[in-house]
Amino acid sequence: EAQVTQNPRYLITVTGKKLTVTCSQNMNHEYMSWYRQDPGLGLRQIYYSMNVEVTDKGDVPEGYKVSRKEKRNFPLILESPSPNQTSLYFCASSFRTGVKSDTQYFGPGTRLTVL
Amino acid sequence: AQKITQTQPGMFVQEKEAVTLDCTYDTSDQSYGLFWYKQPSSGEMIFLIYQGSYDEQNATEGRYSLNFQKARKSANLVISASQLGDSAMYFCAMSSDSNYQLIWGAGTKLIIKP
């Protein structure tokens, strides 16, 4: 089944404890992206990747890191989480980079709470 | 700057009625694409429909259609014969040649009443 998977789905952690949210897609998609969703703000892009070893900042990159060592995986790293990073996180992918008509397919989301 | 505006934070609609969810956009690009996504209470984001700026006909996907009015810069989602399962958040998003990253609206919460 073609899908984007994220793990964990739910995470409660404490301030300053490093964490990684994994994202994997099995569709051979070129483009991958991370978003956070907060009430009333819609989705805001954190980082995106146009291909292996190519990543760039989105609108809200502060406090996050990413890597794209393989085409299928795009982990999101929070080196020192803070309470303002409590949010719902989505990973998404699309077939081609730079093609505006390509639909982005989303993972199921990761609900993160930082105490 | 590019922007998506969804002016309806929430809507209540009677089951089986048609629903129109508003979306207006702002871009100086001539070539762009508009998307609608559905987010049920379970949280996942589900792609519904896409409209390209040069598409001559309004997009349709089953009960979903997109009322695209280019001169007004609006791309309203129409759901015909609403069902209880249509209750969800709905997001409008845009990408363009100059910025293929999706720009998102704040969403509309739709509740279908039985």
Contact B43 A111 (CB under 8 A): yes
Spatial CB neighbours of B93, under 8 Å, sequence gap ≥ 6 = A43, B4, B34, B35, B36, B37, B102, B103, B104, B105
CA distance B92 to B27: 14
How far, in whole angstroms, is CA A18 from its chain's centroid?
16
Query: Which of A70-74, B51-55, B76-80, B106-110 is the least confident region?
Result: B51-55
- Beta strands A110-114 and A10-13, pairing class: parallel
pLDDT for A78 beyond 70: yes
Residues of chain B with C-beta less than 8 angstroms from the C-beta of A98 = 100
Residue A41 has pLDDT above 90, yes or no: no
pLDDT of residue B2: 86
Nearest CA in chain B to A56: B101
- Tokens for A5, please give them: 């998977």
CA-to-CA distance for A72 and A27, rounded, in angstroms? Answer: 8
Comparing CA positions, the residue from A13, A1, A27 lying closest to residue A92 is A27
Supply the pLDDT for residue A98: 66
Considering CB atoms only, which of B31, B97, B106 is closest to A41? B106
Which structure tokens are listed for A95? 């077939």
CA distances from B49 to A17, A74, A115 (A): 40, 26, 38
Tokens of A39: 């009430």
Residue A4 touches chain B, beta carbons under 8 Å: no
Q: What is the pLDDT of residues A43-65, one digit of tens each?
A: 999 999 989 999 999 999 999 99
In a 13 Å sphere around the CA of B36, the CA atoms on its Cβ side amount to 28
Mean pLDDT of chain B: 93
Is the CB of A92 inside 8 Å of chain B's CB atoms? Answer: yes
Question: What residue in B sits closest to A33 (Cα-Cα)?
Answer: B101
A108 part of contact set with chain B, CB < 8 Å: yes
Mean pLDDT (chain A) is: 93
pLDDT category at B97 given cuts 50, 70, 90 is confident
Q: A71 and chain B: CB distance < 8 Å anywhere? A: no
pLDDT of residue A47: 96
User: Are A43 and B97 in contact (CB < 8 Å)?
Assistant: no
Shortest alpha-carbon distance between residue B80 and chain A (Å): 23
B14-18 long-range Cβ contacts below 8 angstroms, 24+ apart: B14/B82, B14/B112, B14/B113, B15/B82, B15/B83, B15/B84, B15/B112, B15/B113, B15/B114, B16/B81, B16/B82, B16/B83, B17/B81, B17/B82, B18/B78, B18/B79, B18/B80, B18/B81, B18/B82
For B109, nearest residue in chain A (alpha carbons): A40
B59: buried, middle or exposed (CB in 10 Å: 19+, 13-18, 0-12)? buried
B107 touching A (Cβ < 8 Å): yes
Q: How many CB pairs under 8 A join A and B?
A: 52
Q: Which residues of A touch B106 (CB under 8 A)?
A: 40-42
Q: How many CA atoms lie within 13 A of A89 on its CB side?
A: 32
Work out the average pLDDT over B37-66.
Answer: 94
